[in-house]
């Protein structure tokens, strides 16, 4: 496949990791960022020390703080910004884009405003412009530092057509980064969002020394609740068994590298979710997702025992021991 001109919006950890993969594959990669220090770090020192200390990244990666320059020749555009920033970023993209592009989203979450899918919301942001050629998104177990270290990683790309998904797999895949195609955007997106809340539960059980049996049981019942939720949006069962579903759930709900998992541990340490959140300086996606998932579950009468418990711990200050005492009761299996 010929070289692609690829723009990554955002100079965060995951965007940098993807830039490294794509530059390793001999694509032309430019990153857009608003923090001049990070832009200079990438251009001059070929690193992004805010996230990766002195680890070197591919020297061919360029960075800029000019959106116009970043979009000059773009074929593929990767949204590497947090969910809350997407609307503002899309407005700038529409303003400066010169051609239709394949848009790939990396943000995880649900649509708080409409109690639906984030992908639907993002596509609506592009309505009325000629910028969005196709929409895709990345999902799967891919801790950024391991990708930068070129450790083996396999993820999914979900696109509206399988042909486009396969085409993009060819752009990303190499000897350490493996990408697989799917068209089940809903299933992948729901898996990516809900596993963060389950990971908070994983941290809670770990802090109570509940044991490996309990941890495995939590992952199993969590996966089942993810599918029960996903069915409402037309998600396919097999999606919850691939890298976007089971793979990402195992990683996020089991690793101390996961912010969601570490928050769960902190909640037990302080025996108070509110105090734990106040003392936790990092963004933890599973907190907001738990609330939105709870509201969607209530609205559409989706029975989710775990999500009801974790919602009450996070938002009604119920003590975290309630997870250990109640989550294994009345489990609904697929």
Annotated binding site for substrate: 108, 259-260
Number of Cα atoms under 13 Å in the Cβ half of residue 47: 10
CA-CA distance, 323 to 289, in Å (whole number)? Answer: 17
The annotated binding site for NAD(+) is made up of 10-15, 144, 259
Chain centre to alpha carbon of residue 259: 12
Of 164, 195, 206, 236, the active-site residue reads 195
Give kind and range of the element (H or E) at residue 63. strand 62-64
User: Cα–Cα distances in Å, from 314 out to 9, 81, 318, 333?
Assistant: 32, 25, 7, 25
Question: How many CB atoms lie under 10 A from the CB of residue 191?
Answer: 31
95 is catalytic: no
Site of tokens 């992004």: 48
- Which two tokens mark 312? 């009450």
Straight-line distance from the first to the last Cα atom of the chain, in angstroms, rounded to the nearest whole number: 41
Question: How many CB atoms lie under 10 A from the CB of residue 243?
Answer: 23
Give start and end residues of each alpha helix (H) in the chain: 13-24, 36-40, 49-52, 67-70, 86-96, 118-125, 144-148, 162-172, 185-207, 212-231, 248-252, 259-270, 273-279, 285-300, 305-315, 321-326
CA-CA distance, 14 to 98, in Å (whole number)? Answer: 26
The annotated binding site is made up of 10-15, 108, 140, 142, 144, 195, 248, 258-260, 285
User: Cα–Cα distances in Å, from 114 out to 104, 118, 173, 184, 295?
Assistant: 22, 9, 35, 20, 11
Report the catalytic residues.
195
């Amino acid at each position: 496949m010929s070289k692609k001109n690829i723009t990554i919006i955002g100079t965060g950890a995951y965007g940098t990791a993807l830039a490294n993969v794509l530059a390793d594959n001999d694509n032309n990669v430019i990153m857009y960022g608003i923090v001049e220090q990070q832009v200079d770090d990438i251009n001059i020192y070929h690193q992004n020390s805010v996230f990766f200390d002195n680890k070197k990244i591919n020297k061919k990666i360029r960075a800029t703080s000019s959106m116009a320059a970043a979009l000059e020749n773009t074929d593929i555009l990767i949204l590497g910004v947090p969910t809350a920033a997407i609307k503002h970023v899309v407005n700038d993209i529409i303003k400066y884009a010169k051609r239709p592009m394949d848009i790939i989203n990396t943000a995880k979450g649900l649509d708080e405003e409409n109690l639906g899918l984030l992908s639907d919301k993002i596509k609506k942001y592009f309505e009325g412009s000629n910028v969005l050629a196709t929409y895709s998104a990345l999902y799967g177990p891919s801790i950024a530092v391991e990708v930068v270290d070129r450790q083996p990683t396999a993820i999914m790309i979900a696109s509206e057509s399988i042909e486009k998904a396969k085409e993009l797999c060819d752009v990303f895949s190499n000897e350490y980064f493996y990408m697989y195609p799917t068209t089940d955007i809903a299933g992948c997106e729901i898996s990516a969002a809900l596993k963060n809340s389950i990971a908070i539960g994983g941290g809670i059980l770990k802090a109570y020394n509940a044991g490996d049996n309990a941890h495995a049981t939590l992952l199993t019942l969590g996966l089942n609740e993810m599918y029960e939720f996903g069915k409402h949006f037309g998600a396919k069962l097999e999606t919850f068994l691939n890298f976007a579903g089971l793979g990402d759930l195992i990683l996020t709900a089991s690793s101390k590298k996961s912010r969601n998992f570490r928050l769960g541990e902190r909640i037990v340490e302080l025996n108070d979710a509110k105090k734990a959140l106040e003392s936790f300086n990092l963004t933890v996606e599973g907190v907001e997702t738990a609330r939105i998932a709870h509201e969607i579950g209530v609205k559409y009468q989706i029975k989710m025992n775990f999500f009801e418990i974790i919602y009450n711990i996070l938002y009604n200050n119920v003590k975290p021991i309630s997870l250990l005492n109640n989550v294994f009761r009345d489990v609904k299996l697929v």
